[in-house]
Structure 1
Amino acid sequence: MSDFVHLHVHTEYSLLDGLSKIPKLIERAKQDNMDALAITDHGAMYGAIQFYTKARD
């Protein structure tokens, strides 16, 4: 378990500001033993459902 949590992460759904793909973000958070992760895309919620379902797996 890590006490550090990323609370400002942009995904590919944040136009011109993010490049990260949601499955890779979650995979990396699990590798780093993080209990939580947040996505903060600008002006879009397109990745919210994918983020939620992948994080629950």
Structure 2
Amino acid sequence: MDTVQTDTGHGAAFLDSSAQLRCHRGLLERIAGPALPQDASLALVRDIAQNL
């Protein structure tokens, strides 16, 4: 990851400093850790949609 783009009500911001990138890498790792694998995630979404 060389650049992070964030979108706000005032437009896009591009973050590219080492500290900013390190912070966003850490966030992505924390999010990805507990995430379901792709096939399990798809099955969960399908199950929820069928039960609506």
TM-score in terms of structure 1 length: 0.28
Q: Which has the higher helix share?
A: 2
Of the two structures, which has the highest relative contact order with CA contacts closer than 8 Å and spacing of 6 or more? 1
Hey, which of these two has a bigger chunk of strand by percent? 2
